[in-house]
C-alpha cells in the first residue's frame, strides 16, 4: 500500500514539474471576459481530471494551448441528468459563439454513472451538437470576433477575410418559432451583397432584406420560421462586398 501511495505521489510530482516547465508566464491570470477578442497564446489552466472517491483531482496541463470548460458544476454525474432545463442546454450553443472560436479545445462537462456509461440523454445531446456543427460550423471554425458581439440573444462572428458575417440567433424558448423580422447591425465599410439562412449559398436559402439606417432588416419567410426540436440556434449568413 505504501509503495502504491509513493508511486502515485511521484507520478504527480513529475506531472507538476512538466507543467511548470511549460508555464511561460508565472503571473498568468485567466481572463474574466467571456468574449475573448484574440487567441490566447499563454500557457493556460488546461486540465485533465482523475476521478477518485473524494471527487475530481485536476492536474496542471502540459500542452501550450488554451482550453475552455464553461460549466461550474461538479465533475460527477448528477442525480438526474434529465433535470437540466432547456435554458442550460441552450447555454452550450451560446458558448460556441461567444467563446469557442478563440480557443482550440471546448470541454463539455459530462460524467459517467456507476456503470461507467453516460446517460442516454447525454448521447442524444452530443449527437445534436455534432449535427449542428456539421450544418453551421462555417460560422464557428476559423472565425474572428466582430465589434458588435451581442444584440440581445444574437451573437456574431466573421470569416478571416472579414467579408462574411454570421449571426447566431439563440432559440431560448423551445415553444416559439423564429420571428418574421430580424434587425441586426450593418457592418461598416462594406456593401451588403446577400443574406442566407444557413451556410449554403443556394438561391433557395436566400432571404429578403433591406438597409434601414445603420441596420439590416431581414425578412424571414414563414416556412423558415418553423423550428425543429433540436434547433437550439439558427445561423444567418451575410456576405459583403468591399468597395
pLDDT tens, residue by residue, 154-193: 888 888 888 999 998 888 766 678 889 999 998 887 789 9
| 151 confidence band (pLDDT: 50, 70, 90) | confident
DSSP string computed for the chain? -HHHHHHHHHHHHHHHHHHHHH-S-TT------SS--S---S-----EEEEETTEEEEE---SSS-EE----S-SS--S-GGGS-HHHHHHHHHHIIIIITT-SEE-------TTS---HHHHHHHHHHHHHHHHHGGGTTTEEEEEEEEETTEEEEEETTS-EEEEEEE---TT----SEEEEEPPTTSEEEEEEESS---GGGB-EEEEETTEEEEEPPHHHH---TT--EEEEEEEEE--
Highest average pLDDT, of 1-15, 62-76, 216-230, comes from: 216-230
Q: What percent of the chain is modeled with pLDDT above 70?
A: 49
**CATH class assigned to 143-241:** mainly beta
What is the overall mean pLDDT for the chain?
Answer: 67
Asked if the model's pLDDT at residue 234 lies above 60, the reply is yes
Asked if the model's pLDDT at residue 86 lies above 60, the reply is no
Domain segments of the chain as ranges? 37-136, 143-241
Predicted TM-score (pTM) of this structure: 0.62
Q: Between 21 and 185, whose confidence is greater?
A: 185
Amino acid at each position: 500500500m505504501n509503495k502504491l501511495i509513493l508511486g502515485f505521489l511521484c507520478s504527480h510530482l513529475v506531472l507538476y514539474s512538466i507543467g511548470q516547465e511549460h508555464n511561460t508566464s508565472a503571473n498568468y491570470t485567466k481572463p474574466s471576459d467571456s468574449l475573448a477578442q484574440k487567441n490566447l497564446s499563454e500557457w493556460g489552466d488546461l486540465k485533465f481530471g482523475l476521478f477518485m472517491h473524494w471527487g475530481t483531482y485536476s492536474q496542471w496541463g502540459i500542452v501550450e494551448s488554451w482550453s475552455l470548460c464553461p460549466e461550474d458544476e461538479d465533475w460527477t454525474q448528477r442525480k438526474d441528468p434529465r433535470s437540466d432545463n432547456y435554458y442550460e442546454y441552450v447555454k452550450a450553443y451560446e458558448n460556441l459563439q461567444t467563446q469557442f472560436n478563440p480557443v482550440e479545445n471546448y470541454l463539455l462537462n459530462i460524467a459517467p454513472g456507476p456503470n461507467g456509461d453516460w446517460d442516454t440523454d447525454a448521447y442524444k445531446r452530443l449527437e445534436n451538437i455534432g449535427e449542428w456543427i456539421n450544418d453551421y460550423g462555417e460560422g464557428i471554425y476559423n472565425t474572428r470576433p466582430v465589434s458588435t458581439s451581442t444584440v440581445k440573444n444574437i451573437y456574431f462572428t466573421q470569416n478571416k477575410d472579414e467579408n462574411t458575417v454570421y449571426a447566431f440567433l439563440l432559440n431560448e424558448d423551445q415553444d416559439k418559432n423564429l420571428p418574421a423580422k430580424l434587425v441586426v447591425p450593418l457592418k461598416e465599410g462594406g456593401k451588403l451583397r446577400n443574406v442566407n439562412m444557413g451556410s449554403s449559398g443556394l438561391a433557395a436559402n436566400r432571404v429578403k432584406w433591406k438597409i434601414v439606417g445603420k441596420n439590416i432588416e431581414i425578412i424571414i419567410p414563414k416556412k423558415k420560421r418553423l423550428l425543429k426540436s433540436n434547433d437550439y440556434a439558427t445561423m444567418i449568413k451575410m456576405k459583403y462586398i468591399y468597395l
